[in-house]
């Protein structure tokens, strides 16, 4: 029986190691960009696949479905949607300051319209991508690694000459970390990189003389300029950005606000949300200055128009929009990227340092390869020039040799055995030959036309150029300043070809302060039906429909529109609702459930009584529970800032049966489930705090409980129906609190 080797492992350690491995895989291989080329793996693989498919900027577009499928099959086996989404984003000029893909077809819009399916859209590389991100891949200037199934090779990083991490920014969510880097102006970033190359002692503040701050493709205004230095020194912080608003004159002496640029964070669904927020401000009467809003945006740009009433307070309205909508928003900065193989939060200076280290490495490898290539050309050229000088001897060797191998051996080592020479002198000269193997191959493959005088002159001139190139390449490799000049020259060319003016303004602006103008209070009637739907109408509407309102509504409260509504529930809670939060409209409107604008839960609570706060503030409320506990509490105790408070203390088996005001009544009648009626003066009920439970108000026989309560005025006849008989409450004997009462059959 074979020996079994059982390894005992701690399950928690295995899970911990497995999760850490998974997390690092997501961080490094999926979610975070590399600081060197500023690309996530899916972006890098997509661009490299387009390069391999030769979808160049000066060639026809190709279907995105082909690009996505090829990328997924060769390099990125994580689903076609993620690849297509990355491809789309790289083509959207409203998300990227320097788009890397040239899209053809519907690639979505700044207003959040989705791109067309990949089978309908086409794409190709942009010129900047092809020339500044993918050039020289054939010169072995970056490392390659096997793909997921080791059938292909892919670059670990693209040889990007553009500081893409800063120029295009990035966003991504990994496991336990998030990256969010704003885009910057290409020209400004290149100027900062050049300045740092000339003086590595520059501070972040010095670099900010070149990089003023983020430059969002959507423009806008950064309003916290003084915070940028701290953000760039730490790589973390918050940027406040506003949309750009212009004031235009309209007909009739009115004005309109026109939003021509939006905050970067408003891209997509944010525009629709902004419009909805403005509608809500108007509907909820937070402002009366806006008479109409329209979105007139088109391919030419953003244009959102707010028409204003005459004499509108524009400054106050702008402050309201900045405070209550996304017209002013914050962009959270966390410059997290993969640096030296691990995730690291970078500041502005370290980002530039990593980019330059990468550039020096690229150019070193590039010119080492170019030097080796030129040295090889030099060797061949020197061999051919020397061969032209002794061409008669070489022809004699070739004619006297039996095969190429014998001729090559003579050319490289001077071995003459077996070769027929015309003279001994020729044999002696041949024995002195010492061409290199590469030179010998070139000689053996040389065509006769190269012996023409002009061709020999051209070969000599080509050799001189090769020597110049070798000298220049050696100078670049051996002299740091020479390599720096080459990098700077190329950066200048990139800036000249692809830079654009800054779109985002930077300034210091005060935090918006909005002074809310409260509308004049009016008298309203709040109607609550048996389903818990509430609505408010003005008093004239209520009076015209009084009969219908009384028959259809379970609770009716009249109050001023700036008052608050008090909902007492059987569970002993009080919900306070602002009257102007209740939808105001026509009498026949359905209303909105109380749950929508208060903490009242219709599925768990039952309304016992409803009052306006002003009507109970200066009076006392009587509380009586199912178990017969009673108390009076000052109404002022319920004037609270919270939306929900405890109205009275209840035991788990008790419920609040009655809440009524004692200001209009002097007596109260209690009725039990089994038909006992007890009448006593309200003054017998003691005043207590809202946190008290109360005192005994009535005695019960076994199995009985309080079912109904009716406060009365002795001077006003009051009757109720009980067991199909009318019971006149005024005729009941006045007793003391705590008695059993009289049985009514």
Active site residues: 120
C-beta separation of 186 from 98 below 8 A: yes
Give Rg (Cα) of the chain.
43
Q: What is the DSSP string of 578-640?
A: EGGGSPB--TT---EEGGGTSS--TTT--EEEEEEHHHHTTSEEEEEETT-EEEEEEGGGG--
Parallel, antiparallel or unpaired: strands 336-339 and 342-345: antiparallel
Burial profile 384-421: b = 16 or more Cβ within 10 angstroms, e = fewer: beebbeebebbebbbebbeeeebbbbbbbebebeebeb
Separation of alpha carbons 245 and 233, rounded Å:
31
Beta strands in 116-233 (DSSP E): 122-125, 144-146, 153-155, 170-173, 178-181, 221-222
Using DSSP's 3-state secondary structure scheme, residue 40 falls into coil
C-beta separation of 177 from 185 below 8 A: no
Separation of alpha carbons 330 and 240, rounded Å:
4
CA dist 630 → 405, 420, 688, 689 (Å) = 121, 136, 10, 12
Q: Which helix (H) or strand (E) holds 65?
A: helix 64-74
Separation of alpha carbons 718 and 732, rounded Å:
11
SS (H, E, C) 453-507: HHHHHHHHHHHHHHHHHHHHHHHHHHCHHHHHHHHHHHHHHHHHHHCCCCCCEEC
Separation of alpha carbons 451 and 442, rounded Å:
14
The single residue listed with the structure tokens 């051209």 is 458
Using DSSP's 3-state secondary structure scheme, residue 407 falls into helix
The single residue listed with the structure tokens 């020259």 is 489
The single residue listed with the structure tokens 């989404």 is 85
- Which residue, 107, 160, 153, 155, is CA-closest to 129? 160
**Exposed, middle or buried, 725 (CB in 10 Å: 0-12/13-18/19+)?**
exposed
C-beta separation of 524 from 560 below 8 A: yes
C-beta separation of 262 from 243 below 8 A: yes
Separation of alpha carbons 537 and 559, rounded Å:
11
Tokens of 246: 């212009």
C-beta separation of 51 from 124 below 8 A: no
C-beta separation of 627 from 699 below 8 A: no
C-beta separation of 191 from 206 below 8 A: no
CA dist 708 → 12, 14, 171, 668, 720 (Å) = 62, 66, 64, 11, 11
Tokens of 117: 């399916």
**Exposed, middle or buried, 680 (CB in 10 Å: 0-12/13-18/19+)?**
buried
C-beta separation of 77 from 99 below 8 A: no
- Which residue, 385, 444, 448, 493, is CA-closest to 128? 493
Separation of alpha carbons 563 and 561, rounded Å:
6
C-beta separation of 51 from 130 below 8 A: yes
């Amino acid at each position: 029986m074979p020996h079994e080797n059982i390894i005992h492992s701690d399950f928690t350690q295995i899970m911990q190691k497995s999760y850490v491995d998974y997390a690092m895989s997501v961080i490094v291989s999926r979610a975070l960009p590399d600081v060197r080329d500023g690309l996530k793996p899916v972006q890098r693989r997509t661009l490299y696949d387009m390069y391999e498919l030769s979808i160049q900027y000066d060639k026809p577009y190709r279907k995105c479905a082909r690009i996505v499928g090829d990328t997924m099959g060769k390099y990125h086996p994580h689903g076609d949607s993620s690849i297509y989404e990355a491809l789309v984003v790289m083509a959207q000029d409203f998300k990227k300051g320097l788009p890397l893909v040239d899209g053809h077809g519907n690639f979505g819009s700044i207003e959040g319209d989705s791109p067309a399916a990949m089978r309908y859209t086409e794409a190709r590389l942009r010129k900047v991508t092809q020339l500044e991100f993918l050039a020289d891949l054939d010169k072995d200037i970056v490392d390659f690694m096997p793909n997921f199934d080791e059938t292909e090779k892919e670059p670990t990083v693209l040889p990007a000459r553009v500081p893409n991490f800063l120029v295009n920014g990035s966003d991504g969510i990994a496991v336990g970390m998030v990256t969010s880097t704003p885009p910057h102006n290409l020209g400004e970033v290149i100027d900062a990189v050049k300045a740092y190359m000339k003086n590595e002692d520059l501070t972040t503040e010095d670099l900010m003389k070149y990089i003023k701050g983020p430059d969002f493709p959507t423009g806008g205004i950064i309003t916290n300029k003084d915070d940028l230095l701290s953000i760039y020194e730490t790589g973390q912080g918050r940027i406040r950005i506003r949309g750009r608003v212009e004031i235009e004159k309209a007909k009739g002496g009115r004005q309109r606000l026109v939003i021509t640029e939006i905050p970067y964070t408003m891209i997509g669904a944010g525009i629709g949300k902004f419009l909805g927020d403005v509608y809500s401000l108007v509907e909820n009467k937070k402002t009366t200055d806006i008479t109409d809003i329209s979105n007139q945006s088109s391919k030419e740009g953003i244009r959102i128009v707010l028409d204003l009433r005459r004499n509108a307070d524009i400054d106050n309205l702008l402050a309201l929009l900045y405070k209550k909508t996304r017209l002013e928003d914050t962009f959270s900065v966390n410059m997290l990227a993969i640096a030296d193989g691990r995730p690291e939060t970078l500041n502005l200076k370290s980002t530039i340092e990593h980019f330059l280290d990468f550039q020096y490495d690229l150019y070193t490898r590039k010119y080492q390869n170019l030097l080796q290539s030129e040295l090889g050309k030099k060797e061949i050229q020197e061999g051919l020039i020397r061969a032209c000088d002794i061409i008669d001897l070489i022809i004699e060797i070739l004619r006297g040799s039996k095969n190429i191998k014998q001729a090559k051996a003579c050319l490289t080592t001077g071995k003459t055995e077996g070769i027929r020479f015309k003279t001994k002198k020729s044999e002696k000269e041949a024995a002195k030959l010492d061409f290199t193997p590469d030179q010998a191959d070139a000689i053996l493959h040389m065509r006769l036309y190269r012996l023409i005088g002009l061709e020999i002159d051209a070969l000599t001139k080509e050799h001189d150029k090769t020597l110049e190139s070798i000298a220049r390449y050696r100078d670049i490799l051996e002299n740091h300043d020479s390599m720096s000049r080459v990098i700077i020259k190329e950066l200048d060319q990139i800036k000249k070809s692809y830079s654009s003016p800054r779109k985002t303004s930077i300034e210091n602006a005060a935090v918006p302060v909005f002074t809310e103008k409260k509308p004049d209070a009016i008298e309203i009637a709040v109607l609550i039906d048996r389903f818990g739907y509430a609505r408010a109408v003005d008093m004239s509407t209520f009076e015209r429909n009084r009969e219908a309102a009384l028959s259809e509504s379970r609770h009716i409260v009249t109050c001023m529109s700036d008052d608050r509504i008090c909902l007492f529930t059987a569970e002993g809670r009080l919900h306070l609702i602002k009257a102007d939060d209740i939808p105001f409209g026509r009498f026949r409107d359905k209303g909105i459930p109380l749950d929508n604008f208060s903490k009242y839960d219709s599925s768990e609570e039952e309304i016992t009584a409803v009052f306006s706060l002003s009507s109970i503030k200066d009076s006392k409320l009587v509380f009586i529970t199912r178990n017969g506990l009673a108390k009076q509490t000052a109404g002022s105790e319920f004037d609270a800032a919270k939306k929900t408070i405890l109205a009275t203390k209840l035991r788990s088996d008790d419920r609040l049966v009655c809440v009524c005001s004692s200001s209009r009544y002097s007596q109260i009648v209690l009725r039990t489930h089994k038909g006992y009626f007890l009448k006593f003066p309200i003054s017998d009920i003691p005043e207590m705090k809202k946190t008290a439970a109360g005192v005994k108000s009535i005695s019960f026989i076994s199995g009985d409980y309080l079912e109904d309560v009716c406060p009365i005025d002795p001077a006003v006849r009051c009757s109720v129906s009980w067991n199909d008989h009318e019971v006149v409450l005024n005729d009941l004997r006045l007793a003391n609190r705590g008695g059993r009462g009289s049985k009514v059959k």
